[in-house]
Structure formats: structure tokens, C-alpha cells
Amino acid sequence: MEPNALLHLDNQLCFALYACAREVTKLYRPLLDELGLTYTQYVTMLVLWEKDDIAVKTLGERLHLDSGTLTPLLKKLEASDLIRRERDREDERSVIVRLTEQGQSLRERASGIPSQVFQQTKLSPEQIASLREQLHELTAVISLQEEQAKR
Amino acid sequence: MEPNALLHLDNQLCFALYACAREVTKLYRPLLDELGLTYTQYVTMLVLWEKDDIAVKTLGERLHLDSGTLTPLLKKLEASDLIRRERDREDERSVIVRLTEQGQSLRERASGIPSQVFQQTKLSPEQIASLREQLHELTAVISLQEEQAKR
DNA sequence: TAAAATTAAATTTTATACAATGTAATTATA
DNA sequence: TATAATTACATTGTATAAAATTTAATTTTA
């Protein structure tokens, strides 16, 4: 093997992931601009479109994001009238997020986005699904490691 | 098919990538802390360890990063005495980056990192290689799309 | 049940990302 | 060859990310 091949950029899975994730995000930008959303705001809305009336904590677990990222992001979505934030009366430590009418209806305008991006990837639905599952598994393994590392 | 299944978070390849990339980066953090590097600084050093004496432009193409990200990052690496930045005398528009002695020698301290991370992924070398190649291909396809979109 | 521990958000700090703009140097062209 | 176009980098502004700290609320426990 070549000397130090393990340190070569193109041999790093981490870099392949890092670069690919950013390129894919870039594909969304022009589409999301029309909705007035950033990519992170978009995935936040995806979660809420599936089920709103959830705590910031729950959102964070779903998105792998903590309050340092979510709090300002949610305030912006609230300023755009897409969501409302309200303290949970049962447990005042929690903040509950719910969609406004506008937030609900934005879903329709977003509904065409996945297929538009899909076309640009030039991958088959099977390739997409396979890649997605490999990544989900890897993410799950790593999340578990990090969970355990905390103890 | 379920209504709007295309908009479900777990069906998005983009989110699988986005979440996985961040989790993998988190795995590196404790290891890179010992070297005093952030993840982006680490991949920058990987490029330079392969070949230094290159322009910021070249670095950016290799890393898919622009000067808005690289300029401050390189200034920090210079402040840490790992690199030097110098105008190209042949073409004063370019800035050439080269490793210092310290930058060179940091390579040895970094050499064990890839295998340490590899172990934590619980993937076989073949699975890693396969996933990496799928991501490289997808990145290449998308980069090409974006290249063409500019015209 | 009062004190200690835990939890959920918010805040602060540091470091990316990237679009848009500015500037200086270089190259192309009328 | 003067000027227009291009190029490389730096700067500015906006939006993440994530660690660390703070605050307020809730739960556990001695």
C-alpha cells in the first residue's frame, strides 16, 4: 500500500460524507429560496408536517440538533409566522412547537421538492433507498457509540 | 403509498446524509481536540500533507469550499504556526499555502486517527469503500449539475 | 419535605458555510 | 494598446452547529 494512504483525502469516508452532504444541500437552495426557507428550516418543517405540537426536545432528537441551533432557528420560523412557540403548561421547562395556518399550507408548496431533487441525482429509486439505509445504519451505530461514551 | 410519504424525514436521502455527516464529524472531535484542530482544519491539513505549496484556489476545489470559508480558516492555521500563506510572485492574485515544520510533523500525530474512527463505525473495509464510492459518484454528478446550472 | 440532582431551554462563544460584494491583478479583445 | 472581462482572494452579512454555561422548573432522595 502507498505510504500513509489512510490519510489521503479521497480515502476518507468522513470527507465523502461531508462534501456530499454540502453538495446535496446546495441543490435544495434555489428550490427552498422560493419558499423562504433555509435547508435546516426545511428539515425542521418536514418533522412538523409529519406531526406538530411537539417539544423542542423531541424536535432536537429527531433532527440530531440541540437547543443552541434550534432556539434561534425556531424564533425565525415564528417571526415568519410559520410556527408558534409556547411553554408547555404541564411542564414549564418544555416549549411546544405548533404550525400556524401558513405553516400548514406551506407543505403543499414544498411537496414537489423531493422529486425535483431526486431527478438531479441521476440515481434510481433503488440506489437512493439503499444509500439512505446504509447511512441510517451508520448514523445509528455512531449515535449509540456516542451515547455510551457519555458514561 | 402513504400520503405525502415523499415528504417524510426518514425518506429523505438528503437528511440521511446531513445527519450522518454531522455524527461522523462528532466522532472526530475528541481525537482532533488533542491535535488542536477542528474537523475542517483537519481535512485542510489532509490535502496539504498530500501536497503543499498549492494555491488557495486549488485547496478550495479539492475541499469544495470557497474563500469565504478558507481565508479565515487558513489564517487560524497560520496563527497556530502550522502553515504559511504567501502571495504567488508569478501571479499576485494567488496565495500559496505551505506547511511549516510543525505542520509537517503534525502528520505523524494524526496518522492513527483514521483507523480509530474506522473501528467505531463497525463497518467492514469493503462496506466503507463501497459507501465512499457511492458518495463520490453522487457528489460528482451533483457538482456537474451545479457547474452546468451556472450557464 | 427541604436539599440535591436532573431536565429543558436559552445564551454565549467559537468555528464553519456560503452568497454577495469589493479589490487588485491578469488576460482577452476591439 | 486602452479597456473590458475575468480571476483570485478578502470582506460582509446571514445562518447554522455544537460545547459550555446559565436559568428556571421538576423530580429524586436523604
Protein-covered nucleotides on strand C (Cβ within 7 A): 7-13, 15-20, 24-27
Q: What is the pLDDT of residue B151?
A: 60
| Secondary structure of residue A97 in the 3-state scheme | strand
Tell me the per-residue pLDDT of A94-127, one tens digit each, with 9 for 90 and over.
999 999 999 999 999 999 999 999 999 999 999 9
pLDDT of residue A147: 76
Contact B6 A115 (CB under 8 A): yes
CATH 1.10.10.10 fits B38-109, yes or no: yes
What per-residue confidence (pLDDT) applies to A4? 78
* In chain A, domain spans: 38-109
- pLDDT recorded at residue A25: 97
pLDDT in tens, A35-81: 999 999 999 999 999 999 999 999 999 999 999 999 999 999 999 99
User: What confidence score (pLDDT) does residue A2 get?
Assistant: 62
State which residue has its Cα closest to the C1' atom of C25. Answer: B93
Protein-to-nucleotide distance from the CA of B27 to the C1' of D30, whole angstroms: 39
Instruction: Give the phi and the psi of residue B12 in degrees, each rounded to 5.
Output: -90, 120
A95-99 and A83-87 as β-strands: parallel, antiparallel, unpaired?
A: antiparallel
pLDDT at position B149 over 90: no
DSSP B6: G
The answer to whether A17 and B128 are in contact (CB under 8 A) is: no
- Which residue places its CA closest to the C1' of nucleotide D18? A68
Q: Do B46 and A7 touch (CB under 8 A)?
A: yes
What residues in B contact A6, CB-CB < 8 Å? 111, 114-115
pLDDT for res B3: 62
Residues 6+ apart with CB under 8 A from B83: B48, B52, B74, B77, B97, B98, B99, B100, B103
Taking every pair of Cα atoms in chain B, the longest distance, rounded to a whole number of angstroms, is 62
Q: What is the pLDDT of residues B111-148, one digit of tens each?
A: 999 999 999 999 999 999 999 999 999 999 999 888 77
Residue A151 pLDDT level (bands cut at 50, 70, 90): low
Q: Per residue in B12-49, pLDDT tens?
A: 999 999 999 999 999 999 999 999 999 999 999 999 99
In angstroms, rounded to a whole number, what is the distance separating the alpha carbons of residues A83 and B82?
A: 46
Q: Cell 509537517: give the residue.
A: B104
Residues B69-121 have pLDDT tens digits of 999 999 999 999 999 999 999 999 999 999 999 999 999 999 999 999 999 99
Of B62, B115, B146, the CB nearest to A9: B62
Predicted structure pTM score: 0.95
The residues of B between 17 and 56 with beta carbon within 7 Å of nucleic strand C are: 38-41
| Whether pLDDT at B1 is above 80 | no
The nucleotide lying nearest A95 (C-alpha to C1') is C9
